[in-house]
């Protein structure tokens, strides 16, 4: 009996140790895919600007696109609409303060990433990269975070300093690389 249970333990141990090896024996049914084939989905933009596409847009370009495609929900010039206002916002002092681009968003790249993936609400992914840059520039300009003639592109957008960039505390540092 002793030998048998020892053997059982050894088998268990071996199985446990070989768990990672077992993964390698999975069907391996993932098919290689090239960057060109992923391109249409490859839309993540990171705070350092990685993922930003070629192209450029100015606040003036953005104002025209905004009037046609955004103002119905967000209101003329980024306020007064049924959905989240895009302009202004007092400095945050209370927990139930309205979080706005100007008073809260830490990175300007998030604006490009979110507009491109999610807006306009009824027709996401219908904007060209140039249009997304232009809308990003327009909204940043309305908030006086860039000049009214500043073009946004892969070089300029990551350099925009957002007022609340340093307003955050990482909740679980030991779990956050």
Complete DSSP assignment for 74-135: H-GGG-SSSS---S--PPP-STTPPP-TTTT--BTHHHHHHHHHH-STTSTT-S-HHHHHHH
Question: How far is the C-alpha of 40 from the C-alpha of 158, rounded, in Å?
Answer: 22
User: Which listed range, 7-15, 60-68, 140-148, 162-170, lies at the site for other proteins (CB under 8 A)?
Assistant: 162-170
CA-based torsion, 30, 31, 35, 38: positive or negative: negative
Is the Cβ of residue 58 or residue 127 nearer to other proteins in the bound state?
Answer: 127
Choosing from 1, 14, 16, 23, the residue that interacts with other proteins (CB under 8 A) is 23
Within residues 38-57, the interface with other proteins by CB under 8 A covers 38, 41-48
Is the Cβ of residue 60 or residue 81 nearer to other proteins in the bound state?
Answer: 81
Is the Cβ of residue 67 or residue 118 nearer to other proteins in the bound state?
Answer: 118
Write the secondary structure of 44-75 as one string of H (helix), E (strand) and C (coil).
CCCCCCCCCCCCEECHHHHHHHHHHHCHHHHC
Q: How far is CA 153 from CA 7, 70, 131, in A?
A: 65, 21, 11
Per-residue mark of binding to other proteins, 102-131 (x: CB under 8 A): --xxxx-xx--xx--xx--xx-xx------
User: Which listed range, 10-18, 54-62, 146-154, 165-173, lies at the site for other proteins (CB under 8 A)?
Assistant: 165-173
Within residues 64-93, the interface with other proteins by CB under 8 A covers 73, 82-83, 91-93
Question: How far is the C-alpha of 167 from the C-alpha of 105, rounded, in Å?
Answer: 9
- Using CB under 8 A as the binding criterion, the count of chain residues that bind other proteins stands at 58
Query: Does 159 help bind other proteins (rule: CB under 8 A)?
Result: no
φ, ψ (nearest 5 deg) of residue 156: -85, -35
Closest distance to other proteins from the beta carbon of 174 (Å) = 10
Specify whether the CB–CB gap between 162 and 106 falls below 8 A: yes
Binding residues for other proteins, rule: CB under 8 A, are: 20, 22-24, 26-35, 37-38, 41-48, 73, 82-83, 91-97, 99, 104-107, 109-110, 113-114, 117-118, 121-122, 124-125, 167-172, 175-177
């Amino acid at each position: 009996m002793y030998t048998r249970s020892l053997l059982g333990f050894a088998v268990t141990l071996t199985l446990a140790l070989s768990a990672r090896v077992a993964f390698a024996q999975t069907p391996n049914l993932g098919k290689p895919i090239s960057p060109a084939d992923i391109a249409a989905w490859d839309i993540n933009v990171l705070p350092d600007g990685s993922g930003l596409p070629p192209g450029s847009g100015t606040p003036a370009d953005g104002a025209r696109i905004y009037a046609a495609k955004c103002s119905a929900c967000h209101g003329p010039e980024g306020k007064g609409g049924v959905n989240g206002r895009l302009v202004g916002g007092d400095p945050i002092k209370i927990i139930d303060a309205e979080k706005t681009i100007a008073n809260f968003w830490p990175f300007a790249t998030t604006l490009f990433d979110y507009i491109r993936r999610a807006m306009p609400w009824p027709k996401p992914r219908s904007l060209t990269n140039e249009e997304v840059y232009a809308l990003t520039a327009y909204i940043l300009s309305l908030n006086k975070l860039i000049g009214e003639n500043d073009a946004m592109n892969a070089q300029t957008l990551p350099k925009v300093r957002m007022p609340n960039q340093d307003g955050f505390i990482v909740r679980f540092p030991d779990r956050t690389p």
